Structure 1
Amino acid sequence: MNKRETRAVFQAALAAGALWLGTALPALAEDGLTLKVTAFKQAVAENVADDDSIAAFYRARDFAPIWTGAGEGDRARRLALMEAFSLADDHGLPAGRYDPDRLLRRMSQATDGRSRGMLEIELTRTFIQFANDLQSGILEPGNVVDGIKREAPRRDPEMLLTRLTQEDPTAVFLSLVPNSPEYTRLMRAKLRLEHKIRNGGWGQTVPAGSLRPGNSGNAVVALRNRLTAMGYLSPSLSMTYDAEMEAAVREFQEDHAIEVDGIAGGSTMRAINVSPEERLQSIMVSMERERWLNLPEGRGKRHILVNLTDFHAQIIDDDKLTFETRSVIGAQGHDRRTPEFSDVMELLVINPYWFIPQSIIRGEYLPAIRANPYAAGHLEIVDYRGRQVSRETASAYANSGNFPFTMRQPPGPSNALGSVKFLFPNKYNIYLHDTPSQHLFRREVRTFSHGCIRLDDPHEFAYEILSRQVDDPVSYFKRIHASGENTRIPLETPIPVHLIYRTAFTKAKGQMNYRNDVYGRDAMLWRALTNEGVALRAGRS
């Protein structure tokens, strides 16, 4: 049912005075009423025994109802619940999970205290399920993709239920919607794209591998029509790849992180021919991901956002972009993919050592040292106290199969971490850093690291980070860098860092932006969402 139909059915039930949905409960003798209330409370107590939070809520109110009573408050909560369910599809939620039709039937059949008590808890559990799904996500992300190292930020059921009894229920349901501007824009884009699909989608795909300015013919017409349907080109009868089409292609390329040259080459044509249904899936996955970041404490007035699929790192202040630089992320191999998580940046290190990960030591350097003690001479070998170990000693341990040392590269121009690294201590040993391999930033797809995130403009990034605690961050940084000394600089105000993965995202103005699913994570999430009952609402074009 849509929102209007749900409200009509529910109000019809109210108008008919069906059972306790009407204006008053049926009159009962005092003894009968006592028995009915007792049966109700027993049913409630039995059905919440396995949930401490819900049980605590009902015990605190002596098992009185919040849904199934005859008072105005109960009626308002029931109506707000049903109206909220009617919007589940708008949010990309599994509408069948809440099934308002079945709940309405249950309401009409609840004729005694026990059945009403069981219905009370069913409504409560359905409310909690809906609140969790809408507020913090349908999935438990780490159970679907092992590279997602975050948990859905579930709220306490007792707190949610208490709010329902103390606040306007409609306002409570509205407050469950993630309040980030990104979620609002994604939902708007979802509704627009669903409307477009219902009305023919983007038309036929372009039957050409490549087109360029000056071309003409049927393929150019198909490209013109598709760009027009997407909103990149004004309607026209032109059959030529003219200046207007070239400008439209450039804008499309910008929104899809493709080299902006105005030529509809292979990468551009593949992106243009992606179906609107596939793009809709990406938007709905991004909405789910946005719910995972609907943190009770917020993301931070100032925070760092790294969208792995976009290959950029950003500094955000008060929801506005302050600084942005290109990034390189973990390579495609499963053991090198950059994980997704949130943490807090506590310090930066100028002239850092590079401490080699144990996986690289075991896989790359130990075999070389066994063959030649002086291999990898650019690296220092140190014990747990940071004291250097001789190559002969290290080789002996390497050949014995027990290597209790670590390896590090001293600060310098060839250091793998470059001149600065930014630390947000975490068990995954992931951080942001400089790199001498600057040529990689010219690539469209930048998946080359062992997992850490390399920055194209690390010095400028550091200046912006330090600007909140140093009067002249540029001179301050350059002086320490020139000294060559390994220097740790704690941040006076630590900065939250969020490593995210979005193949569909918005900008405050302009079209949707789409990126490739470089690690295949969104495909896995979409399959998991469909298994939970999420579906595309629009028919195929």
Structure 2
Amino acid sequence: MLPLTRSGIVRYICAISALLITFSAGAGTARAEVTAFKQAVAEAAALDRDLAEFYRESGYAPIWTDETPQHLARRKALFAALDNVSSHGLPSARYNEDGLAQMLRDVRSPRDLGRVEVALSEAFLAYARDVQTGLLTPSKIDDGIKREVPLRDRKSYLTAFVQSTPGAFMRSLPPQNPEYARLMKAKLKLEYQLAHGGWGATVPGTKLEPGDSGTAVVALRNRLVAMGYMSRSATRSYDAAMTQAVQKFQAAHGLETDGVAGGGTLTEINVGPEKRLESVLVAMERERWTNFERGKRHIWVNLTDFTAKIVDDNKVTFRTRSVVGANSHDRRSPEFSDEMEHMVINPTWNVPRSIAVKEYLPMMKRNPNAAGHLNLINSRGQSVSRANIDFSQYNERNFPFDIKQPPSRSNALGLVKFMFPNRYNIYLHDTPAKNLFARETRAYSHGCIRLHEPFEFAYALLAKQTDDPKGLFHKHLKTGRETQLNLEQKIPVHIIYRTALTTAKGDLEFRRDVYGRDAEIWNALERAGVALGGVRG
């Protein structure tokens, strides 16, 4: 018996060739053994429709367990990948690497070999899908995650694998974008921090500011040094160097960069590396969910970052602040991808039914003239006067009117909205409530995304189809009439949610889990067997 080690597995894999030669002694015996092997494959694959179909179509021929160099290369590539699953934040027990090695050691007959053949394919399929498109199903975690994961046909993995160079194929499975690679490096760094004691003691108190001194300031200094925001120092006072370090920390965590360690900043400073590692593992899973072509030009809205960006050839060419849905169940902004088709200049606000009956109907019951800037529209599309309406007879179910707000500067949508028609009725738009953009946390809307600089956003979009984007936009704006302006090329829009993200330089940043979704994802990953590396036992 070979020991259960990587080198032992490889030697045993090679030894399968000798075993197969032994099985092949004599024509009649060989035929019987081939039949036994195929029967075992058919039986073992029967409960998996994709595997059963793949092997049936190939006449139950092996792809792993023959004596050829190609089969040896496939086995080595699979075991190398399974030996490295933890680097992707996946649960190693799920793929039963040691169990597969034991099955290989225990092969004594063609039927044993047939069962090993299918077991290797099962592990391969589980790993391939998990590392390429994620371990979890997003919609089962939170109903606000509408993300449609780009699942590949399971049988196609096997078909492509047998036609490829095994090692290169396995390396091609994880997301190939730079963000995923940087998150993998960040994961290793955080695991190292955990294995070496973390970032030290937390910082006491509720507020520290320039000029302060004492033990709390020393704790703050030590924490900032350990996290890499400050060079080593013996200072016991909140000096200029510490102020600058706090500002760097704040910028990397989406906080107001005032250099004062107030309550919000201290809360984030005191988050331990284990929690940050959880966020990175969640971000890696989310990257696998969005492992598809995002578009040479696309719009990237990170809900936790309260920003909307235009990305061209992997470079951010426009960025503006945003306001997202408030943190209540019926107002949180959903996560999904679609394509922007047009913008509407001087838009009419068609008040969503839920807002009309839950917010405006109670107001009009109390005072029929409330919200007088809104028009009531009957089923024939006619504007009706409130004078003869008894609002008390209506409720959420029988309210018979639509509510609209005509174009104006005070319109709830502002002066422009950007449309990517979707079942969730979510879009990007202007707003007259400009004061909200000055706030650190900007979750106030009913779900749609409000933009701080909507005109500039429109100019950037139109610049690809006209030499005078500003002139074209304002030509329609000054009419005061609702106008649809089509984009000549549809632009992918990705509304995403990342609490851990990296910069192009590789720096790791974090944002607050505003809706608690990442906490739910981590809990699901943990239930699936994902564990934190580097934790001292």
TM norm. shorter chain > 0.5: yes
Q: Residues 9-158 of structure 1: matches in 2 within 5 Å?
A: 9-14=8-13, 17=15, 19-20=16-17, 24-158=21-155
Q: Tell me what 1:209 maps to.
A: 206
Q: Matches of residues 167-206 of structure 1 in structure 2 within 5 Å?
A: 167-206=164-203
Selected match of 1:406 from 397, 402, 427: 402
* CA–CA distance in structure 2, aligned partners of residues 22 and 84 of structure 1: 25
Is 1:282 the equivalent of 2:253? no
The answer to whether the 8 Å contact 2:13/2:104 transfers is no
Question: How far apart, CA to CA, are the structure 1 residues paired with 2:441 and 2:381?
Answer: 37
Query: Hey, what's the Cα distance between the residues in 2 that align with 1:490 and 1:339?
Result: 25
| In structure 2, distance between residues paired with 1:172 and 1:82 | 13
Q: Is the 8 A contact 1:369 1:398 kept in 2?
A: no
Q: Does 1:458 align with 2:428?
A: no
In the TM superposition, residue 109 of structure 1 has moved relative to its aligned partner by 1.6
Instruction: Determine the C-alpha separation between the residues in 2 that align with 1:326 and 1:94.
Output: 37
Query: For residue 145 of structure 1, what is the amino acid of its counterpart?
Result: D
**SS of equivalent residue, structure 2 residue 342:** strand
1:319 aligns with 2:318: no
DSSP 3-state at the match of 1:303: strand
Deviation at 1:59, TM superposition (A): 2.6
Q: CA RMSD in A?
A: 2.0
Q: TM-score, normalised by structure 1?
A: 0.94
Matched, 1:440 2:436: yes
Q: What secondary structure, in the 3-state scheme, does the structure 2 residue paired with 1:360 have?
A: helix
Match status 1:517 vs 2:513: yes
Amino acid at match of 2:8: V
Specify the alignment match of 2:492 in structure 1. Answer: 496
Task: State how 1:288-437 maps to structure 2 within 5 Å.
Answer: 288-295=285-292, 298-370=293-365, 373-383=368-378, 386-391=381-386, 395=390, 399=394, 402-437=398-433
Contact preservation (8 Å) 2:335, 2:496: yes
Q: Give the drift of 1:487.
A: 0.4
CA distance change for structure 1 residues 457 and 29 in 2, over 3 Å: closer, same or farther?
same
In structure 2, what residue type is equivalent to 1:463? Y
**Aligned in 2, Cα 1:511/1:489: closer, same or farther, shift over 3 Å?**
same
C-alpha distance 6-325 of structure 1, shift in aligned 2 (>3 A): farther
- Secondary structure (helix, strand or coil) at the match of 2:478 reads helix
Kept in 2, the 8 Å contact 1:14–1:21? The answer is no
Q: Which moved more, 1:492-501 or 1:193-202?
A: 193-202
Match of 1:530 in 2: 526
Match of 1:527, SS? helix
Report the CA distance between 1:484 and its aligned residue. 0.3
Summarize deviations over 1:446-477 as a string: whole Å, max 9, x none: 11001111000000001101111122010111
**Is the 8 Å Cα contact of residues 412 and 484 (structure 1) preserved in structure 2?**
yes
Unmatched runs of 5 consecutive residues or more in structure 1: none
- Partners of 1:531 and 1:358 lie apart in 2 by 39
Contact 1:432 1:453 in 2 (8 A): yes
Q: Deviations over 1:480-528 (max 9, x none)?
A: 1111010011111101111111111011126311111111111111010
Shift of 1:31: 1.9
Name the amino acid aligned to 2:459.
Answer: Y
**Unaligned runs of at least 5 residues, structure 2:** none
Q: CA deviation at 1:25?
A: 4.8
Write out per-residue CA displacement over residues 408-454 of structure 1, whole angstroms, 9 at most, x where no aligned residue. Answer: 10000110000000111111111000000000011111110011110
8 Å Cα contact 2:357/2:399 also seen in 1: no
Is the CA contact (8 Å cut-off) linking 1:328 and 1:453 kept in structure 2?
yes
Q: Secondary structure at the match of 1:309?
A: coil
Deviations 1:148-188 (A, max 9, x none): 00132211122211121111100000000101111111111
SS in structure 1 at match of 2:79: helix
* TM-score where L is the length of structure 2: 0.95
Change (3 A) 1:264 1:510: farther
Q: Which moved more, 1:232-241 or 1:446-455?
A: 232-241
SS at match of 1:491: strand
Are the structure 2 counterparts of residues 11 and 384 from structure 1 closer, same or farther at C-alpha, using a change threshold of 3 Å?
Answer: same
Alpha-carbon contact 1:140-1:151 (below 8 Å) kept: no
> What residue in structure 1 maps to residue 217 of structure 2?
220
Cα-to-partner distance string for 1:317-349 (whole Å, 9 max, x where unaligned): 111101000000111111111111111111110
Q: Tell me the amino acid that sits aligned with residue 336 of structure 2.
A: F
Amino acid at match of 2:105: S
Please say if residues 6 and 86 of structure 1, whose CA atoms lie closer than 8 Å, have aligned partners that are also in contact: no
Note the C-alpha offset of 1:213: 1.8
CA distance in 1, matches of 2:160, 2:446: 46
